Each structure stands twice: as C-alpha cells, then as structure tokens.
A and B are shown apart, each in its own frame.
Chain A
Amino acid sequence: MVLVINQVITGLMLGIMYALIASGFSLLFGVLNVVQFAHADVCFLGAFVSMAVMTFLSKIEFFPTWLVIFLTVVSAVLITGLIGSIVEKICVKPFRKSPGLIILLSTVALGFIIREGIKIFYPSGASPKLFPLSFPQWAFSMGGVTVRFSNIMIIIIAGIIYFLLSIFINKTKIGLQIRATSQNVEAAQVLGIDLDKIFMITFFLASTIGAVAGILNGIYYNIVKFDMGLMGGIIGFSAAVMGGLGNVYGAIIGGLILGIVESFTMAFVPGGSPYKEIFAFIVVVLFLLFKPSGILGKKVIEKV
C-alpha cells in the first residue's frame, strides 16, 4: 500500500508535467482546430531559455540571488510565450485556409528545427544539461510515505496556474473572445473579434503554460536534454486526445492517467522501466479504439 501511494505521488508529478503540456495542446486545438505538434518543443525551449538567462544574469553579478531566480523564471516564461506567438506567425498563419493536417506536418517539421537548433547552436547542446534551479531538499515521511517539498510545490504551482487560467478564460473579455472563437470561428469573426489577435494571444498563453511545465520538469528531474520535446510532444498530444481534444480539463485528467500508468509500469512490471512509454501508448491506442472522443470530449458527428 505504501509503495502504491509513493508511486501515485511519483505518477502525479509526471502527470502534472504532461497535463500542463497537454493543456496547451487542448487550448490550441480548441481555438484553432489544429494540432501544434511543436508545442512540447516550445515548452522545453523554455527550460533552455531559463538556463541561458540564468547564466547571463549570474555573470553580471548585480542582483541578489532571489531576484535572479525570480527574473529568470519570469523572463523565460515571457520569452517562451513570445516564441510561441512567433511560431504562430511562421507555421500556422500561412496555412489557416488549408486542411489541418498540413499544419500538423509543418509543426512536426518545426519541432525538428527547434530540437536541432538547440543541438547545434546552444553551447554543447547535444549533451544532457544539469538544470541550475532546484527546490530545497527537505522532505517528511509518514508511515513510509515520503512527501518532498518539491512535490508540494509542484502541486501548488500547477494549482495556481490552472486557477489563473480558468479565471482568464471565464472572467475576462479576451477569455470570452477565445471561447467564442473556439465555438465558431465564422460567427466570432462576424461579431468583430480580431482573429489574428486571438490566435496570437492563445499561442502566447499556451506557450507560457508550457514554459512553466518545461522549467518545472527541469527543476524536478534536474536534467534537460534537447530531444525531450519529441517524446513530450507525443505524450502531451496523447494526453490531450485521451481527455478529449479541445477540453483543457480533460487534458489534465489525461495527463495524470498517463503519468500514473508510467510510474506504475516502472514500479510493478518486472524490468518494465524501459517499456513505460509502451504501456502508456497502449492505453492511448485502446482509448482511441473504444472511446475516440476522449473522456470529456464532445462526440463529433460528421456532417456532410
């Protein structure tokens, strides 16, 4: 039982990262009806941006440490958001009129460009990097169940992000416009909503959430690699599909399920740790076979 609870905690941590990435996928799909496959690459680019900013700021030796960390996180998140909106300009805007699969292809290609770009142009980008930030190490243990400070912090941060996101989507005027666009693009346009602006804001929003996921991932696992975006992208995409593409809350559930499946595979299947993704993908394929619309997704009836 203790082992199960510990594994659930490990799975939750993994699941929260997946959920944050998957929410971005779902947000973008909801508004644009396309899959931005390079989203996870943008997210992990956030981790690399924060590393670059951190080295830059600590070279100046002007700010106190706490301010350096604060500035690093804020500027990395904002820069990644900007990169997200640039991605929209390059890879999505030219294809707005073409079938959605074209955007999938162009963003898959963009993912390769980002990954290889990091590998080639970041200083010694091909090797795994130690992430400079970390949470305090203390932990408490209760009847064998170990809870670390980082676990609590990640849950709190994710909670805050989802709280802010839901306020932004449900209470603000731009959130209303985003919801309107995701319901019906033509009607939104008729009502005078500036689509370009909405798309840009949605990309910015999704990328900032993703950047937080990338940075949290770096902090929690202490290591960043240039090619993490590929697997992260496929798993984030899967989690979004499992929850129902277009539904942000579904994406959370999907991400948590995948995270827990992976951690349980590592713990309870003998020699299972290399196969953890396989089990996750088998769950995804089964979902697509038996419930293609996802957990919270609406059933799409194809009309002629």
Chain B
Amino acid sequence: MNFRAIRAIYLFEMARTWRTLLQSIVSPVVSTSLYFVVFGAAIGSRITQVEGVSYGTFIVPGLVMLSVLTQSISNASFGIYFPKFVGTIYEILSAPISYFEIVIGYVGAAATKSIILGLIILATAGLFVPLHIHHPIWMLTFLVLTAVTFSLFGFIIGIWADGFEKLQMIPMLVVTPLTFLGGSFYSVNMLPPGWRTVTLLNPVVYLISGFRWSFYEIADVSVALSLGMTVGFLVACMAIVAWIFRTGYRLKN
C-alpha cells in the first residue's frame, strides 16, 4: 500500500474544502436552515404530528440525508472531474499508486467532507427542534455508509462526465428528485397505496427510512432492508469503479 500517496490525495482534497469553505460547508448549512425555517417552523407548526413525532423533528433525518447525498456526489464527482478537466490527472495516472488507493484518497476525502457536513447540519437542526437519537451507533453507521456509497457514485459520475453539463445532470435530474420523493419530508405511509408501491422502487427511500429509524425508531421499511439496500448499492458502485479502472474507461486511451 502506498499510504503516503493516499494521504497526499486525501489532504489535497481536504485542503480544497477549506479553501472553498463558503461553498463546501457554509452554503449547505444555510440552505438547510432555510428548510427548517420554512417547513419546520412556518408550515410545520400547522401540521400535526407524523407517527408520534412533531413535523419539524420528523424532517431532520431526511434533511441531513438530502445534504449528505447531494454533497457526497458533488464533492466526489468534482474532485475527480477537475483533474481530468485541467489535465493534472496525468500525475495521478503516472504515479506508483493502485486504483484502489486512488479511490480511497478521493472517495475518502469526499465522504469525510459530507460526514462533517451532515453532523454540522444535525447540530444546526438541534438549535431549531428538540432532537433525540435512539441509536447513535446506527445513526453514524447509516451516515458513513451513505456518505461513502454516494461519494463512490459521485466518483463514477466524475469519471463518466466529459463536460460540466453532464457533471450536473445526474445530481439535478436524478438524485435531487429521488431524494425529495424519497420521504425526506413525509412518511411513505402517508401516500395512497399505488404511489406507495412506486415509491418503494426509489432506493433513497431505504436510506432515509433507515436513518430516521436510528433517530426515532420509526421506519417506512424494515431496518434490515434499509441496511441491505444501502450495502447493495455500495457494492454495485464498487463493482463499477473496479470495472472503470480495469478498462481505463474515460481515463486512459
């Protein structure tokens, strides 16, 4: 293992975060706070409890997930897309470093950022609504698993994208809708039966459900299923990354 190389990539990527602190940390925290003000305080005060939890409290796990998902994808996709775009990728490819180590460096940094961000948003939420976390270990497990999985997914998008438009396309057109429709702001049980079935095809439902369970022990689907789906998606992303590096897809000609 070339640990020094992993460390170099990881620290390089983290340095980018601190350099772009406003964009990386402050802006997602501000936008999430806005959600709390609008949905939690303003509209939420008129909504009755959802499954025994006040609406403002209910949406906290979904909001954290929303940020963790989108930030993991954008951090990781940008992290690998940018060296491709400016050409500095030549150095990574010519270094004595395995593909596995490259992924650990980039995905590790992207996941670290979104985990930090998720925890900051959670702390921010604590200022607006009372929070109680029933299963902190599971909460962290789901947080880390999701951050890693979606950072891997972002890494794949970053390699696949050959323009800034494509880089934005999947997060904008696929991930954001899936997250909004994945039960961030409502319980799947609140939907009519037909829509409920359709919703269960959305993988994000399982992530948010599992994460919410670790807070309030309420879930749309069973926790085991949530965990299974998350790990399944993680494995699928890993397989695609392995294929990318084996074939040199969009990296080497």
A binds B: no
* Interface set of B (CB-CB < 8 Å, partner A): none
